[in-house]
Structure 1
């Protein structure tokens, strides 16, 4: 079970380079249910995610580079690339996704929790902005289906808000 909340960012944390990070490329074979292929540095996965916004089933299966490349060609929509920074925060790890390419300018923080109760009682750091857990536009599976005009609209909105 994956239990996570998503947030926009008001202000980028200082010295991001001090944190461990991964370069991620991912694409979607299906969005209901979510079937995704991902390259994280030199590791490859296929992921199944059930329905839900904050809590949902999630299963990861390892792939090799050839299988990933084959499945990537079968993906629909946009390929998503991002740099994910892993930032310790109390008992949690903030996964700060700085999107690249087509989605440049979008930054989303995700925090995973062991229970729904912990997720609901989470006090975000001051540099977090709006909670977008229930805003489907910020789910990567939805982003993979966006048209260029929709992406530009979100980028413009975030730029005008200084996020």
Structure 2
């Protein structure tokens, strides 16, 4: 079984804007809290991913590459709205960060994630790291698909 252990943070400032990003479109065939089934197109690749219930900062994860045409057709079956974002991958002091700048109905939200080997693994915080939101389910992509950031009461740029 695959296990994903990640910590998630809001992003501040503009120092994270390094290099070109990759455009992502993703949708959910199922957004149940016990299991989510996601379809994602990242650049010219497509994936289907099944994730289990989050426990702490960990959850089961199974991801498989699929043909791009299948990904495009599966996105048509997904619940709306789709998640649209640009991802930048940034190396910082031995860690690899994925910084997602959301578009569309989630515009104004920028979130950084770091994948870890254990929940207690130490890591250095980049200067552009803001508040930790690992345990706030509103920031799960599956939640943002159902309740977009742009609709939150008092939502402002992160």
**TM-score, length-scaled by structure 2:** 0.88
2-side partners of 1:73 and 1:137: how far apart? 24
Deviations 1:108-132 (A, max 9, x none): 01111111121xx334223211100
Paired residues for 1:3-14 under 5 Å: 3-13=5-15
Please tell me whether the aligned partners of residues 38 and 46 of structure 1 are also in contact (alpha carbons under 8 angstroms). yes
Moved segments of 4+, more than 2 Å:
18-21, 150-154, 156-159
Higher mean C-alpha displacement, 127-136 vs 68-77? 68-77
CA–CA separation in structure 1 for the residues paired with 2:57 and 2:14 = 24
Q: Gaps (5+ residues) in structure 2?
A: none
CA distance in 2, matches of 1:74, 1:157: 29
Answer 1 or 2: which has greater helix percent. Answer: 1
Q: Which residue of 1 aligns with 2:123?
A: 122
SS at match of 1:3: strand
**Paired residues, number:** 153
Q: What is the distance in 1 between the residues matched to 2:11 and 2:65?
A: 31
* Cross-structure match for 2:151: 152
Distance (Å, rounded) in 1 between the aligned partners of 2:136 and 2:124: 19
Aligned twin of 1:43: 45
Distance in 2, matches of 1:20 and 1:86, equals 9
Residue 76 (structure 2) pairs with residue 73 (structure 1): yes
Calculate the aligned-residue CA RMSD, in Å. Answer: 1.7
How big is the shift at 1:69?
2.0
C-alpha displacement at 1:20, in angstroms?
A: 4.8
